[in-house]
Chains A and B, each alone.
Chain A
Amino acid sequence: MAEVSLKGIKKIYDNKVTAVHDVNLEIKDKEFIVLVGPSGCGKSTTLRMVAGLEEISGGELYIGGKLMNGIAPKDRDIAMVFQNYALYPHMSVYDNMAFALTMQKVPKEQIDKKVREVAEILDIAQYLERKPKALSGGQRQRVAIGRAMVRDPKVFLMDEPLSNLDAKLRNQMRAEIIKLRSRINTTFMYVTHDQTEAMTLADRIVIMKDGFVNQIGTPQELFNKPVNLFVAGFIGMPVMNFFEGCRLLLDGDKYYAEIRGVRFELDAFQQKTLKSNGQKPCDIVCGIRPQHITVGEGDLTATVEVNELMGSEYNIHARSGDDEVVMVIPTVGLATDVSMGSRINFTAHSDLIQLFDKESGNNLIWYDAGSAANNAPVCKDYPF
């Protein structure tokens, strides 16, 4: 009962800066949506418009089917967790958590019950009398989450809630949010610039750049079916390798990708989709994930520049012509010499090669012009 629906949402600051362009997004009830993207891409602005903290310059926002443009934050039945916690410094943890319920004139006993229950879940029951100043970063973040939880909001908004924590605590809190999620059982919108958080928490990820949504999809879709170069480069660690100056060739009725003069015959699915799209031969950029490269075979060559042993695998930074190629190679069963300075051959299975149009940067297979025109780009769906 708390779907969130953004229809052509737009934000123009001071009649000048357009921070968010026409965002269309349908969030299902109890879905966990993560907004991700580089700094300044408009994630926070989008979230703040949903919260009602920022005026909506254009478009319509619905929460639970009700039009929310111009409605005050307190009447939207939302809760928000801020990056810097935003706990009231002069109130005890208990009063911080009880504040919203006090505002709603909930009876005292009921408030007390709810606060203690949530404090128990979040493991902060022993700090209820303390002031926020006397808590560690992780504890403060729990209080901030608790303050949002006591309200049982329709929508739970979080703006980079973990970015003030150190790496270890962040991992721990991330796991706790995953656990909490099943207990809170409501719709989430979560902003982060950390792709690990996005991949592990999200049902669907919305990836933004310069105020535009670039792709909406499940973590797997974003990883396997990126619609353009930006999405392909943003998702995945280490970053996908891009090979410039490649060609898509059509020889007879077979498509080939040519990378530095080496021909790769595309696999059956790629053949079929390209054919159904009526794809013409063109200049392309090929993308291969570091994990998808095999060394010791194939006709592409590179010189190893740096070789990092990461326990069970090598992270190899190699130079191949003008491109730096990063490869993640399992140490087990590795027959090739990958020490620094050595020449290696490498290749990748053709179905793992992503093909991007050189001019537009769009994925030849997964880019879907229809949904992109609606400003809600998803990967293309094929009937086969």
Chain B
Amino acid sequence: MNNKKPSNARSIIAHVTLIILSFMCLFFFYILLINSTRSHAELQKGFSALPSSHFMENFRAVANDGTFPMLRGIVNSLIVSGCCAAICTYFSALTAYGLYAYRFKLKNAAFTFIMMILVMPTQVTAMGFLRLITKMGMYDTLWPLIIPSIASPAVFYFMYSYLQSSLPLALVEAARIDGSGEFHTFNRIVLPIMKPAIAVQAIFTFVGSWNNYFVPALVLQSKDKMTVPILIATLRGADYMNFDMGKIYMMITVAIVPIIVVYLFLSKFIIAGVTLGGVKE
């Protein structure tokens, strides 16, 4: 009896704390959603916690606005983020597998080199990168946003650790004896085993790419190439008094929806992925 009371009190404190924290995290999203349903006039009047009825109106305004091609931006972002997630995870897994499963000279040197790149910030290499892609004729295209994601040291390291914990080399050897070629072994045996790790990293890469502002801002010029963060940033120049605020809130709402969809779609894998490597058979 005696130790039930303190634990009750503790549980209450814990819950209250967590509720406050959750509220602080989610409040802004809530306001965003509410505001996207309100008209410009209503927004001028001030704060309201209740949704209004201008959702479709705002949405239509966003969809039809030629100067801020929001839907085009979303498509661009989807293309870039989707491609990044796919090639980043595939090639990182491939690299990690190569370093994990094969014995060769300079293996340790290669590993150290990759880890070194990990600590190099993008900003440092930006000028050189910009010159390079300009010379290659890829300025103001989506390619410079996609191709560099092939090499991602952080994802590589995650994949490497995952392989260490869950791919016995005997499996690879068994496949070799069974007559499977090296690439076939990777695609048919290793990739399926790495599925949880790939799912987690695909989500992280997707979100990272979706939210990336720095590189697209350097590279993209034309409106119809822009990704969502760039488009939203251009709104900053808008006159807040005259601009339709309901439309802006709608744009931001539309911008975060794909991320939420991706998350819901893959959340099963995320939860599995967080505990990765923790449990061994």
Question: A residues bordering B, Cβ < 8 Å?
Answer: 51-53, 72-74, 78-80, 82-84, 86-90, 99-100, 103-104, 133, 147
Contact = CB atoms under 8 A, between A and B. Distances in A.
Contact of A78 (B175, B177, B184, B189): B177
A82 B173 contact: yes
A355 to B, nearest CB: 44
B128 interface: no
A99 B168 contact: no
Contacts of A53: 173, 176-177
Interface of B: 168, 170-171, 173-180, 184, 189, 192-193, 195, 281
A68 to B, nearest CB: 13
A100 B173 contact: no
A72 B168 CA distance: 20
Contact of A86 (B170, B184, B195): B170
A365 B281 CA distance: 52
Nearest to B103: A14
A292 to B, nearest CB: 42
A51 B177 contact: yes
Contact of B180 (A84, A89, A99): A99
A329 to B, nearest CB: 45
B178 A74 contact: yes
A89 B189 CA distance: 9
Contacts of B174: 80, 82, 86-88, 147
Nearest to B189: A88
B181 to A, nearest CB: 8
A90 B177 contact: no
A84 B174 CA distance: 11
Given A53-B173, A82-B173, A86-B174, A103 B168 contact: no
A104 B281 CA distance: 32
A37 B132 CA distance: 61
Given A82-B170, A84-B168, A86-B168, A74 B177 contact: yes
B189 A80 contact: no
Nearest to A82: B170
A307 B77 CA distance: 81
Query: Secondary structure of the B side of the interface?
Result: helix
B178 to A, nearest CB: 4
Contacts of B192: 90
A351 B3 CA distance: 79
Contact of B193 (A74, A89, A99): A89
A52 B168 CA distance: 18
A80 B180 contact: no
Nearest to B171: A86
A51 B178 CA distance: 11
B176 A99 contact: no
A130 to B, nearest CB: 16
A74 B176 contact: yes
Contacts of A87: 174
A12 B244 CA distance: 76
Contacts of A52: 176-177
The 7 closest A-B pairs by CB, nearest first: A103-B179, A74-B179, A100-B178, A86-B170, A86-B174, A90-B192, A82-B170
A82 B173 CA distance: 9
15 contacts: A52-B177, A74-B177, A80-B174, A82-B174, A84-B168, A84-B170, A86-B174, A88-B175, A90-B193, A99-B175, A100-B177, A100-B179, A103-B179, A103-B184, A147-B178
A82 B177 CA distance: 11
Given A86-B168, A86-B171, A88-B171, A80 B193 contact: no
Given A72-B176, A84-B168, A89-B193, 17 more contacts: A52-B177, A53-B177, A73-B173, A73-B176, A73-B177, A74-B178, A74-B180, A80-B173, A80-B177, A82-B173, A86-B168, A86-B170, A88-B171, A90-B192, A99-B180, A103-B178, A147-B178
Contacts of B178: 74, 99-100, 103, 147
B176 to A, nearest CB: 5
Contacts of A84: 168, 170
A53 B176 CA distance: 8
A87 B168 CA distance: 10
Contacts of B176: 52-53, 72-74
A306 to B, nearest CB: 40
A79 B177 contact: yes
Contacts of A99: 175, 178, 180
Nearest to B172: A86
B277 to A, nearest CB: 15
B173 A103 contact: no
A156 B278 CA distance: 36
A159 to B, nearest CB: 9
A86 B192 CA distance: 15
Nearest to B184: A103
A73 B175 CA distance: 10
Contacts of B171: 86, 88
A115 to B, nearest CB: 13
A131 to B, nearest CB: 12
B179 to A, nearest CB: 4
